[in-house]
Amino acid sequence: MMRNVFLTGGSRGIGAAAVLALARAGYNVAFTYHAHPEAAEAVAAQARALSPAGTFLPICADAGDSAQVCAAVAQAEEALGSLQVLVCNAGIAQQKLFTDTTDEDWHRMMAVDLDGAFYACRAVLPGMIRQKYGRIVLISSMWGQTGGSCEVAYSAAKAGLIGLGRALAKEEGPSGVTVNIIAPGVIDTDMMASFTDEDRAALAEETPVERLGTAEDVARAIVFLCDENAGYITGQVLGVNGGLVI
Ligand code: NDP
């Protein structure tokens, strides 16, 4: 079986770690980015070094734009052939009081963090259904499970991803496509750039395994759920959070 992946947001953080972990596991990966072409090229170069026989293709596409996501999936299929795996990882976060949240803040959050997964799933599914095989992994958040103060828009979008994934798992199970959701806890990436060292120490102390998560912690869970042998796991929310949410 050829193993071709389309992953959104592969230029940094969890997405970049996932591209490299998938490269090590023998997959070809087309991945999107939005604002950092050099970072995306660097990830592709690292992946090629890890897997010289593999194909790694960075594609510029705004996850919140339906036409750009469709065009990116078409470009990936053209370059790699049919896709077996989709990882919807691209995301933005925003910390703001709910009462200060503007229409623009809300709609941009929904566009990137929720609509983006809808566009990507809808674009890849016809090919997966034709093959009667597929693996879809959606990157939500523990805030999608529990709700985060001052992150209402983010929590709503991430909760939406859980609903999307569970419903889609029921609809696509008979077509051989599994759909699972990963809900990371506190993962040390650029998304946490605004946190001070004291914030980090306090979060680590609150976490049962006493450390923050790494992008690689989440990447390993992604590779596990993408595996052919994970076919009896679908519609599940896998927390990768060091025990912060149980
Ligand atoms: P980073 O900010 O480190 O990376 C975000 C990635 O998404 C980058 O590759 C970025 O591309 C891409 N991206 C952002 N906006 C868009 C867009 N409009 N279109 C396409 N790509 C876009 O974030 P993380 O790696 O930390 O987060 C990855 C996912 O994990 C997100 O969905 C996030 O919500 C989720 N998550 C993260 C947690 C954490 O603690 N870090 C906790 C829970 C969930 P570019 O480089 O071009 O900007």
Cβ-based neighbours of 193, under 8 Å, separated by 6 or more: none
CA of 133 to the centre of ligand 1 (A): 27
Q: Is the pTM of this model over 0.85?
A: yes
Cβ-based neighbours of 231, under 8 Å, separated by 6 or more: 176, 178
Out of 27, 33, 133, 154, the active site residue is 154
Residue nearest to atom 46 of ligand 1 (CA): 36
Residue nearest to atom 6 of ligand 1 (CA): 9
CA of 191 to the centre of ligand 1 (A): 7
Alpha carbon of 108 to those of 65, 104, 144, 170, 236: distances in Å? 10, 6, 17, 28, 27
Q: Is the CB of 11 under 6 A from ligand 1?
A: yes
What is the mean pLDDT, run by run of 10 residues, along the chain of 246 residues? 89 98 98 98 98 98 98 98 98 97 98 98 98 98 98 98 99 98 97 92 97 98 98 98 97
Q: Is the CB of 93 under 6 A from ligand 1?
A: yes
pLDDT at 162: 99
pLDDT at 57: 98
Going along the chain from its start, the domains and CATH numbers come out as: 4-240 (3.40.50.720)
Q: Is the CB of 30 under 6 A from ligand 1?
A: no
CA of 174 to the centre of ligand 1 (A): 31
Q: Which atom of ligand 1 is nearest to the CA of 186?
A: 40
Element at 164 (helix H, strand E): helix 152-172
Q: Is the CB of 64 under 6 A from ligand 1?
A: yes
33 is catalytic: no
Q: Is the CB of 177 under 6 A from ligand 1?
A: no
Residue with tokens 């990507």: 120
